[in-house]
Amino acid sequence: MTAAQSICGPLQGEGMTVVYKQIVPEQPFPFPWSKDEFFNAFPEARLGLPPYGIQPIDLSDIQDADLVMVVGQSWFLSPSLPIQSFFTNECIKQYLCGRSVIFVNACRNMWLKTSHAIKQYVKDAGATLVGHIVLQDNNAPNLVSVITIIRWLLYGKKEPTRLLPQAGISDRELAEASRFGEVIRDTWRDRALGNLQDRLLAAGAIKYKPSVLFIEKIGHRMFGLWAKFVRKKGGFGDPRRRGRLNAFCIYLFTVLFAVSPFGVLFFWLTYPFRHIPRHRNEDCSVK
Ligand SMILES: Cc1cc2nc3c(=O)[nH]c(=O)nc-3n(C[C@H](O)[C@H](O)[C@H](O)COP(=O)(O)O)c2cc1C
């Protein structure tokens, strides 16, 4: 079952219709990924420069839609390249203009900068973000989930082993995401979309992990510098940038496994000075 199917389940029937559309990139991204293909997506994803667009989506049967839900992943602390291509497509922007949008972010656990980018895309399209749901890996601590997601993305192995849990969002959490559909349905019936995010948050739409987001904010800044450094050697797919991408790969794993634990320790030692409730309100809002 996909996240979209789970959430939209309760919206189907009872006078409501759900129409699914797929975002298909003009050039497919591989699965499972090779290491080179995976890192090649990094600079453009981080800098918001999708190398190609999406295949046309037939919007003729959804012109009278009341609500648009977009489901997509995070790549390198940014919206995935297909999601970026979707939101920057002129036909899509015209379609979204004046509509209410819910974004569902499927990711490992770093969603904050994706949410900032999505807020901007929705604003640029003249639409209103009314809901933001994060489906993330809650099975495993941060560093274990790095290992399980690599096993999934590079080797196609999602199932648990004797030592590792299942990769990514668990089947149970995926199934339980249908409760967000119930919240959306009831809020729609109450004509209270302005309160949707508060109701979604009350139903657990974003599990807030401040130490992970602390690492994400630092990583996002460093990724930006690396992405520009790699792009100096060439654009998407240019073999001349392989050396710099390999260096980024070494940097990434060194920082993740050797430095980030100290970052987390520093975060918790300075926790009393961090105004977490205020940040939580800002980070989880759709404003
Ligand atoms: C190229 C690439 C980069 C990714 N970068 C991140 C990331 O920065 N943060 C994160 O939380 N998840 C990241 N992920 C994980 C995805 O957001 C997603 O959780 C993963 O692909 C599993 O989703 P699936 O089960 O739909 O394939 C990345 C995935 C890919 C393919």
Q: What is the pLDDT of residues 178-218, one digit of tens each?
A: 999 999 999 999 999 999 999 999 999 999 999 999 999 99
Q: How far apart are CA 228 and CA 46, in angstroms?
A: 9
Residues making up the chain, counted from first to last: 287
41 by DSSP, 3-state: which? coil
DSSP 28: P
Q: Which of 44, 137, 153 to mutate to test the pocket of ligand 1 (most atoms within 8 A of CB)?
A: 153
Q: What is the CATH number of domain 3-284?
A: 3.40.50.360
Please give the distance, rounded to the nearest whole angstrom, from the Cα atom of residue 241 to the centre of ligand 1.
22
Q: Cα(199)–Cα(180) distance, rounded to whole angstroms? A: 9
Which ranges of the chain would DSSP assign to H, the alpha helix? 3-8, 35-40, 42-47, 81-88, 90-96, 112-124, 142-155, 171-176, 178-189, 196-202, 210-231, 242-254, 260-269, 276-284
- Test site for ligand 1: of 107, 110, 155, most ligand atoms within 8 A of the Cβ: 107
Global pTM reads 0.96
Query: Coil, helix or strand for 104?
Result: strand
Q: What ranges do the domains of the chain cover?
A: 3-284
Ligand 1: residue of 138, 149, 174, 256 to mutate (most ligand atoms within 8 A of CB) is 149
Residues lining ligand 1, CB < 6 A?
A: 38, 41, 73-77, 106-110, 149, 153, 168
pLDDT in tens, 105-158: 999 999 999 999 999 999 999 999 999 999 999 989 999 999 999 999 999 999
